Amino acid sequence: MIATHSAGEDNAILATEAIGKDYPGVRALSNLSMVIRRGEVHALVGENGAGKSTLIRILSGDARPSAGRVLLEGKPIMLDTPGAARRNGIVTIFQELMIVPGMTVAENIVLGNEPASRAGRHIVSCRQAKAIASDMLEALDCADEIDPGARASSLSTGHKQIVEIARALALKAPIIILDEPTASLSDKEADALLRILRRLRAEGTTILYVSHRLTEVMGLADRITVLRGGRHIETLETSSLRGTGELIELMVGRPLTELFPPRNRTIGDIRLSVSGLTRKDVFEDISFDVRAGEVLGFAGLVGAGRTEIMRSVFGADPRDGGEIRKDGRRLTIKAPADAIRSGLAYIPEDRKDQGLVTGLSGYENLLMASLADHCRGGLIAWRHACQAATTMAQKLQFRGQLSRPARTNSGGNQQKIVIGKWMLTNADVYIFDEPTRGIDVGAKAEIYRLIQDLAARGAAVIVVSSENAELLHLCHRILVVSAGTIQDEIPEEQFDEHRILAAAFKGHDRSAVGPAQERRNNE
Amino acid sequence: MQSYGERLHVFDREEWKAGFGRIVRERAMEIALPVVTLGLVIVFSLLSDVFLTGSNFRNIGIAAAALAAVAFGQTFVILTAGLDLSVGSTVALVSVVLAFVMREFGLVPGIVAGLLCGAVVGIVNGLIITRFRISAFITTLAMLSVTAGLALNLAGGVPILGLPPAFGRVAYQYWLGLPIPVLVAGVTLVIAELTLRYTRLGRHICAVGGNEEAARLSGIHVERVRVIAYAICGVTAAIGAIILTARVSSGQPTLGATLPLESIAAVVLGGVSLAGGRGSIVNVAFGVAFISILANGLNLLNISSYTQMMIIGLSLIAAVALDQANIRRKQGH
Amino acid sequence: MQSYGERLHVFDREEWKAGFGRIVRERAMEIALPVVTLGLVIVFSLLSDVFLTGSNFRNIGIAAAALAAVAFGQTFVILTAGLDLSVGSTVALVSVVLAFVMREFGLVPGIVAGLLCGAVVGIVNGLIITRFRISAFITTLAMLSVTAGLALNLAGGVPILGLPPAFGRVAYQYWLGLPIPVLVAGVTLVIAELTLRYTRLGRHICAVGGNEEAARLSGIHVERVRVIAYAICGVTAAIGAIILTARVSSGQPTLGATLPLESIAAVVLGGVSLAGGRGSIVNVAFGVAFISILANGLNLLNISSYTQMMIIGLSLIAAVALDQANIRRKQGH
Amino acid sequence: QAQQPKKVIGLSKPNLKGPYPTAELYGILDEAKARGFTVIVQDAGGYANIDKQLDQISNLAIKKVSAILIDPSDPAALNGVVQQARDAGILLVGAGVNVVASAVEPDAAVSSSHCNIGRELAKGAKALLPDGGSLGVLAGPPGSFWATERLRCFKEDIAGTNIKIVAETTSEQDAATSLTRASEILQRHPKLDMIYGADDVYGVGAARAAQAADRCGRTRIIFSVLGEEAEDMMNAGCADYVVAQQPVLIGRTEVRVVSDLLEGKKPEPKVINVPLIAITPDNLKTVDKAHLRPPAGWRP
Ligand SMILES: Nc1ncnc2c1ncn2[C@@H]1O[C@H](COP(=O)(O)OP(=O)(O)OP(=O)(O)O)[C@@H](O)[C@H]1O
Ligand SMILES: Nc1ncnc2c1ncn2[C@@H]1O[C@H](COP(=O)(O)OP(=O)(O)OP(=O)(O)O)[C@@H](O)[C@H]1O
Ligand SMILES: [Mg+2]
Ligand SMILES: [Mg+2]
């Protein structure tokens, strides 16, 4: 059964023939033919909106192609429902989390494939369900962290992702498709996942893998297919590649001169000063300053409490103590509106759930926090407002249609709308929470440039990120958060990834779980 | 300086540039209901000789005016992904309060008291929903019971008479050929549509309905916006109550029992999703027209009331299904 | 080989291991309503000397039985994030159909015809909702109108008499000290709870309500599951109709008008979110008990019906607010 | 506890809203106070809520009241519970109707039966339109016993005359809705000779529609129950014939009958018919309103 790696086309397990997919106004895929060989890890890379997820939706029966066909084992196959794909041995882990929050971990893992009890085909065996769940979590090295009886809604994003992977593994399918599975995982969790994928390949499973983390892709994949603008650009043996640069060039269609722009060098006075910020059981005694023109990084493991600190600073979550000053003046922030009035801006980590009203147009989203500036006699001057929005979109090199619902844009363009919304408020303190999650390299470079531009214009910028490389290249200073406290402060001269990791794990050594983690487990 | 008219059309002009075909496609949903309503009018005109007369249309207008006012307020609430089942008994309560005050203190104090009463019920609804985090369905269902009981208690179960005759006459007077109730509903429509499109409040209502968390993080006071939406709904219910009370020139503690479900149906017919977020008052007005014309036409055709109930139900499904099919075609499914 | 009983208790035993405190905390929501209901019982017992008697509780049971059956079916629909407003007129339609068939062909064919009729209405609801993608609110509102019209048309607007006397007597007979209607509701409860917890269908219903997209992508036939949920709701409405028809020993084309809103209120009181996903039939039974005991107690205390309406509304808000406060405390907000 | 314990009477009404039931309730409560009875009032909240009325009669039986005044929402539906109450030794008196349940004989009844109202309305119709004419019917709420009964007997009595029903519609018992429905009937039949209203909600609605269409006096309006609104409309010349039921007198008589029964006196006859009064603009001023409505400002 297990194939040799030097196989030709007859070794194809899954193939597409001249697939096309049209959405109103957009051609997401055109004339796409590619071959996935039995037993290989095949990676799919491309910019945001290149059509990766669309292709995957077609292969998993979630969307029907407008043209072309899919071949399984050389035979044309009709994948018209997700059930049909599953029955044919194709299991997919989608880009968006697909968890039923009210159900337990075990119930989520066996969802759609519940073990029948001896009492009858339609009766579910709870015991077997738990056994399957435990086995899968064991296989994923997460048995001690995730309780099969816990409610899925109480899990962190990373753990939810692991539950989804467990669900796919439980099906023991010959073909597994993963769409950006590591986007919301910490490095440790991502490493665990990659180990599992290597093991599955060794056992003969075919894997189609999508990720924007190119080093990860280079380390894992046997072959890589590059998509651009819905077209197949090239399929390469990983071994023939010299480095990520070549891959990036194929993806964006031009050489990318620099990913990280030079740091801003004109630092001013202290702009934002937080002292003694505490929220019981979540974080305590958080103190830091940011200067005008400075980029301050927050590093840490997933669940360390960085998001919750920023939400408290911004007034989105309550706090139990502490003081926030801006330009020396003490701020009373009770709600995000107060923070915005004081010139703060917060780009949340989850675009879809916290950043955008996806059903409203790009215009409306861009203008959401700054409509007051465009009112004439109590009424909104839309013409004026839309001009401002259009100008901002151009400045951000937004590539999409502002008049269409925000949800129809690709991830990178959506992120630009969120950033643009805050730039329109003329804030001078920007808090970016995971600003490049799920974003392609091209867009990443643009967002890094935006961050440096803001700093150059005298804004104070805070960047929370789980990608340490990003912080090391972007920031003037990095604070490491672990278990709800600041463990370390690293100035630019002493930047060192090992020091970050050491500090990030320090809190974990002291108490097995951080306060945020603990609170979640209690639920 | 740009004129007001220019600003009103900023979106349309951009769309015109993109070509007429696209407008039709994009606006298909908004065109579907007017077309269906026009179809109804044609069918009824062919079947009944009195249907297509000025006096019948004035009749329809007067009968639809109260439902229209209530549906416009309901739209605000539904746009925040809420729901107000208490509008019917709010109408009854306002009718009673208005009648009492008007009898004692005259026309204007009565109307003011009525509007205030509606606003108070709406605010109470909003506060319960936001403070106790109870679903809008249950809160307004409970308030339906509370306000209905209050109205009956106040009135002692019987209609309240002795309103100024001028008040009752207003319901049957015309201005520029239009019945006063229709004018009142028309003014409500214009104010509501402008509020929704051209004020911050209106945009905030849509944002809260579309994604509450994103709205909150954008500095919108979500709870305040919600409470205001319910208050607006209460005020339009009061406007509906004033129209109805004038028509029956007495305070009626049982008025408006069918309004909650009818107004929600009108809003949904108008293409507003019950999940909140997007919608236009003008479309809701077509929803009201559809319901009112259907009821009027069936009655003119002398169709048995039991059969009418069946036809109305089926038409409701057909009209919304058509809308949905349109939306889906638009989205390319 | 493990016994069936063992498997039934697998979850509970593990929870015991985790300590009593955690159970109390986890179950706080589920305990709140029973406690509140107990509070009601105590208050009414102190205020009325006949409240705490066997015969009164049998009365409450008989009165609650139909609502209970309907609410159990409503739970299935609400768990899929749907809603069924047509249960009331389904009860009326079933009552009429059942009476006709029973008069002509006897007891058992009548009951079978009634159950089938309920299932058909449910399936039609489900098919319209899934095929035309119309919101459950509008579909079942329209079907409310259609089935009510159909029931009135069939019956000609008058009750249908001449049912077998044995059928009418059943409603007032006892078995093991329990009134037959209560037993019927009890059996419905057990079957419904087992279906929800231990069958694939039950798990799929919760999954569809919790996250439709996830359910669909897991290969669950979402549309089929939805239709089945509405069919179940139709069948339990038919069970409710059978209980009520036996009590009134005649086919009544206007039966059950208050059931839609009451059953939804009972389900929400039972802690099931209108957004779907989680819930237990046993809790819904407590919701039914709360509503029925409140109505009974207020009637026994001779409180004016208008004041009762206000008290019932306020109690509903209070009970749900308490539940919500509990949930929030549990979540540490 | 000095005196003997007060006797308790139960009252079970399907609906208490509106001038008629409110006036009847006043008669009952006022008479009961005078005679030292306590009254437990149970209101099912609407004619369609048959099951609620069943529950409430059961409640009254449990409270061991001495007698229950029953206005059945549907006599065929109440047999079971009413028999239970009878078995518990409770007196059963028809309240405003001659039956308590279709298969259970009442101990007494104070009635101006729905059928008689229909007949009386027919009398008025024939008097107003001796040569016949076209008639529109606002039949009442769909499927309700009382409205169906009234209309049935009305139709029986106008059968054979030249009065022809050209429109008939049921609708919610709502002042504005009945006004709309009546307007539509007038729209379709602008020369309509008469409108029948099942009760004052429908009748007053029809009168207002006639007023709005400027048809007062030409389209005759007949209905039952003389509330204040009905009186206003008649004064305005828009209501022509109202069958008044004397609800206060009905209520008082009900309590008197119960009192007699408890003292062992059998009322004679068993079904007391409280006369209906046909009210026209001619006798409107002279009729004794004390039996028609509670004193101004009275609240239940
Ligand atoms: N439902 C939809 N309606 C309209 N356009 C869509 C829809 N889904 C995708 N698109 C468009 O199709 C194109 C391809 O999108 P797709 O999601 O496949 O990109 P992707 O390569 O997965 O990007 P990312 O890396 O951001 O996930 C984009 O231009 C997107 O805007
Ligand atoms: N109570 C909770 N229930 C469910 N999820 C939670 C809860 N608290 C936090 N999370 C999620 O867990 C993740 C970690 O949040 P937290 O603020 O604790 O850490 P963080 O350092 O910001 O981690 P991340 O790198 O994921 O942003 C976030 O995605 C957050 O949405
Ligand atoms: Mg994608
Ligand atoms: Mg975070």
Chain B positions touching A360 (Cβ under 8 A) are 206-207, 210, 277-278
Find the radius of gyration of the CA atoms of chain A.
24
Chain A positions touching C211 (Cβ under 8 A) are 98-101
Pocket of ligand 2 (CB under 6 A): A 154, 156-157, 300, 302-308, 349, 434, 466, 516, 520
In this prediction, residues D213-225 reach a mean pLDDT of: 94
Tell me which residue of A174, A166, A168 sits closest to A37, measured CA to CA. Answer: A174
Tell if the CB–CB gap between D185 and B157 is shorter than 8 Å. no
Q: How far apart are the first and last CA of chain C?
A: 45
ipTM of the complex: 0.86
Given a cut of 90, whether residue A412 has pLDDT beyond it is no
pLDDT score at C25: 53
pLDDT score at A351: 85
Find the helix packing angle between C222-248 and C200-210, rounded to 10°: 110
Coil, helix or strand for B7?
helix
If contacts are CB pairs under 8 Å, which of residues 55-84 in chain C contact chain D?
A: 55-56, 59, 62-63, 66
In this prediction, residues B236-243 reach a mean pLDDT of: 97
Query: Ligand 1: which atom is nearest the Cα of residue B331?
Result: 3
CATH of the domain at A481: 3.40.50.300
pLDDT score at A510: 40
Return the number of other C-beta atoms located less than 10 Å from residue D36's C-beta.
11
In this prediction, residues A458-480 reach a mean pLDDT of: 92
* Residue type at position B212: E
Query: Ligand 2: which atom is nearest the Cα of residue A517?
Result: 18
Q: Is the CB of A407 under 6 A from ligand 1?
A: no
Q: Which of A98, A123, A522 sits opposite C198 (nearest CB)?
A: A123
pLDDT score at C320: 87
Q: What is the spatial distance between Cα A209 and Cα A212, in angstroms, rounded to a whole number? A: 10
C3–chain A Cβ distance below 8 A for any pair: no
In this prediction, residues A159-183 reach a mean pLDDT of: 87
Given a cut of 50, whether residue B17 has pLDDT beyond it is no
| Confidence band, pLDDT 50/70/90 cuts, at residue C327 | low
- Atom 1 of ligand 2, nearest CA residue: A520
In this prediction, residues A148-167 reach a mean pLDDT of: 85
D58–chain C Cβ distance below 8 A for any pair: yes
Distance from CA of D283 to the nearest CA of C (A): 35
pTM summary value = 0.88
**Are residue A183 and residue A320 in the same domain, yes or no?**
no
Q: What is the spatial distance between Cα C217 and Cα A61, in angstroms, rounded to a whole number? A: 9
Block residue for tokens 């899925």: A152
Whether D112 and D250 have beta carbons less than 8 Å apart is answered as yes
Render pLDDT for A9-19 as a digit per residue (tens, 0 to 9): 668 899 999 99
Distance from CA of C287 to the nearest CA of A (A): 21
A125–chain C Cβ distance below 8 A for any pair: yes
Q: Which of C27-41, C152-166, C308-322 has the lowest mean pLDDT?
A: C27-41
Answer positive or negative: Cα dihedral of C274, C275, C280, C281.
positive
Block residue for tokens 């408020």: A425
Share of chain B above pLDDT 90, in %: 68
Chain C positions touching D41 (Cβ under 8 A) are 302, 304-305
State how far Cα A14 lies from the chain centre: 27
Q: Which of A210-214, B246-250, C80-84 has the lowest mean pLDDT?
A: A210-214
pLDDT score at B72: 97
Tell if the CB–CB gap between A102 and C210 is shorter than 8 Å. yes
Render pLDDT for A176-193 as a digit per residue (tens, 0 to 9): 999 888 877 777 778 888
Q: Give the list of residues 6+ apart from residue B183 with CB closer than 8 angstroms, or none.
A: B175, B176
* Residue type at position C74: Q
Given a cut of 80, whether residue A33 has pLDDT beyond it is yes
* Residue type at position B331: Q
Domain limit, last residue, from A258, A292, A307: A258
Mean pLDDT, chain A, rounded, equals: 86
What's the DSSP call for residue A3? P
Render pLDDT for C170-225 as a digit per residue (tens, 0 to 9): 888 888 889 999 999 999 999 999 999 889 999 999 999 988 988 998 889 999 99
Query: Ligand 1: which atom is nearest the Cα of residue A56?
Result: 18
What b-and-e string marks burial along C109-146, b requiring 16 or more CB atoms within 10 Å of the CB?
Answer: ebbebbbbbbbbbbbbbbbbbbebbbbbbbbbbbbbbb
Tell if the CB–CB gap between C4 and A119 is shorter than 8 Å. yes
Whether D135 and D165 have beta carbons less than 8 Å apart is answered as yes
pLDDT score at C329: 60
Render pLDDT for D259-294 as a digit per residue (tens, 0 to 9): 999 998 888 888 999 999 999 999 999 988 888 889
Neighbours, chain A (3 or more CB pairs < 8 A)? B, C
Render pLDDT for A312-345 as a digit per residue (tens, 0 to 9): 999 999 999 999 999 999 999 999 999 999 999 9
Q: How far apart are the first and last CA of chain D?
A: 27
Return the number of other C-beta atoms located less than 10 Å from residue C176's C-beta.
5
**Are residue A192 and residue A289 in the same domain, yes or no?**
no
Tell if the CB–CB gap between A382 and B206 is shorter than 8 Å. no
Whether A186 and A301 have beta carbons less than 8 Å apart is answered as yes
Q: What's the CA-to-centroid distance between A498 and ligand 4, angstroms?
A: 21
- Atom 11 of ligand 2, nearest CA residue: A156
Q: Which of A22-26, A427-431, C40-44, C198-202 has the lowest mean pLDDT?
A: A22-26
Q: What's the CA-to-centroid distance between A66 and ligand 1, angstroms?
A: 15
Token pair of A18 as six digits: 């001249």
Q: What is the spatial distance between Cα D260 and Cα A184, in angstroms, rounded to a whole number? A: 84
Ligand nearest to the CA of A282: 2
Tell if the CB–CB gap between C219 and A103 is shorter than 8 Å. no
Q: What is the 3-state secondary structure (H, E, C) of C188-241?
A: HHHHHHHHHHHEHHHHHHHHHHHCHHHHHHCCCCHHHHHHHHHHHHHHHHHHHH
Q: What's the CA-to-centroid distance between A354 and ligand 2, angstroms?
A: 13
Given a cut of 90, whether residue B14 has pLDDT beyond it is no
Whether the upstream peptide bond of residue C159 has omega within 30° of 0, thus cis, is no
Q: Give the list of residues 6+ apart from residue D1 with CB closer than 8 angstroms, or none.
A: none
Given a cut of 60, whether residue C20 has pLDDT beyond it is no
| Confidence band, pLDDT 50/70/90 cuts, at residue C291 | very high
Angle made by CA atoms A57, A62, A68, in degrees to the nearest 5: 65
pLDDT score at A245: 79
- Residue ranges covered by each domain of chain C: 66-260+270-278
For the ranges A238-252, B221-235, C37-51, the one whose mean pLDDT is highest:
B221-235
Q: Which of A430-434, B30-34, C94-98, D232-236 has the lowest mean pLDDT?
A: B30-34
In a domain, A383, yes or no: yes
State how far Cα D30 lies from the chain centre: 19
In a domain, A265, yes or no: no
Q: Which of A209-218, B147-156, C186-195, C223-232 has the lowest mean pLDDT?
A: A209-218
Tell me which residue of A178, A185, A230 sits closest to A48, measured CA to CA. Answer: A230
Q: What's the CA-to-centroid distance between C39 and ligand 4, angstroms?
A: 44
| Confidence band, pLDDT 50/70/90 cuts, at residue A71 | very high
Q: Is the CB of A28 under 6 A from ligand 1?
A: yes
In a domain, A153, yes or no: no
Whether B317 and C132 have beta carbons less than 8 Å apart is answered as yes
Render pLDDT for D164-186 as a digit per residue (tens, 0 to 9): 999 999 998 889 999 999 999 99
* Residue type at position A143: A
Chain C positions touching A118 (Cβ under 8 A) are 1
- Atom 2 of ligand 1, nearest CA residue: A408
Render pLDDT for C250-285 as a digit per residue (tens, 0 to 9): 999 999 989 999 999 999 988 888 776 778 899 999
Distance from CA of B270 to the nearest CA of D (A): 23
pLDDT score at C190: 96
Chain A positions touching C221 (Cβ under 8 A) are 81, 83
If contacts are CB pairs under 8 Å, which of residues 294-323 in chain A contact chain B?
A: 314, 316
In this prediction, residues B28-34 reach a mean pLDDT of: 69
Mean pLDDT, chain D, rounded, equals: 91
Q: What's the CA-to-centroid distance between A29 and ligand 1, angstroms?
A: 9
Share of chain C above pLDDT 90, in %: 63
| Confidence band, pLDDT 50/70/90 cuts, at residue A522 | very low
- Residue A324 pairs in a beta bridge with A274, A331
Q: Which residue has the higher pLDDT, C31 or D224?
A: D224
**Are residue A396 and residue A437 in the same domain, yes or no?**
no
Whether D78 and D53 have beta carbons less than 8 Å apart is answered as yes
C322–chain B Cβ distance below 8 A for any pair: no
Render pLDDT for B282-329 as a digit per residue (tens, 0 to 9): 999 999 999 999 999 999 998 888 999 999 999 999 988 887 776 666
Find the radius of gyration of the CA atoms of chain C.
20
Q: Which of A209-218, B151-160, D203-212 has the lowest mean pLDDT?
A: A209-218
Return the number of other C-beta atoms located less than 10 Å from residue A440's C-beta.
23
Distance from CA of D143 to the nearest CA of C (A): 4
Tell if the CB–CB gap between C217 and A60 is shorter than 8 Å. yes
Render pLDDT for D145-162 as a digit per residue (tens, 0 to 9): 899 999 999 999 999 999
Given a cut of 60, whether residue B47 has pLDDT beyond it is yes
Tell me which residue of A431, A408, A404 sits closest to A342, measured CA to CA. Answer: A431
B261–chain C Cβ distance below 8 A for any pair: yes
**Are residue A456 and residue A476 in the same domain, yes or no?**
yes
Q: Do chains A and D touch (3 or more CB pairs under 8 A)?
A: no
A111–chain C Cβ distance below 8 A for any pair: yes
Q: Is the CB of A54 under 6 A from ligand 1?
A: yes
| Confidence band, pLDDT 50/70/90 cuts, at residue A115 | confident
Q: What's the CA-to-centroid distance between A401 and ligand 2, angstroms?
A: 32
Given a cut of 80, whether residue B174 has pLDDT beyond it is yes
Mutation target for A interface from B190, B217, B274: give the one with most A CBs within 10 A: B217
In this prediction, residues A304-309 reach a mean pLDDT of: 90
A354–chain B Cβ distance below 8 A for any pair: yes
Q: Which residue has the higher pLDDT, A316 or D298?
A: A316
Domain containing A446: what range?
270-343+428-521
Candidate from A185, A307, A432 with most ligand 2 atoms within 8 A of CB, to mutate: A307
In a domain, A167, yes or no: no
Whether A170 and A137 have beta carbons less than 8 Å apart is answered as no
Q: Which residue has the higher pLDDT, C101 or D98?
A: C101
Given a cut of 60, whether residue A142 has pLDDT beyond it is yes
Q: HSE-up of B191 (CA within 13 Å, CB side)?
A: 13
| Confidence band, pLDDT 50/70/90 cuts, at residue A457 | very high
If contacts are CB pairs under 8 Å, which of residues 14-33 in chain D contact chain C?
A: 16
D205–chain B Cβ distance below 8 A for any pair: yes
Tell me the residues surrounding ligand 4 (ion) with CB < 5 Å.
A 307, 349
| Confidence band, pLDDT 50/70/90 cuts, at residue D300 | confident
Candidate from A302, A431, A432, A434 with most ligand 2 atoms within 8 A of CB, to mutate: A302
Token pair of D63 as six digits: 């409270």
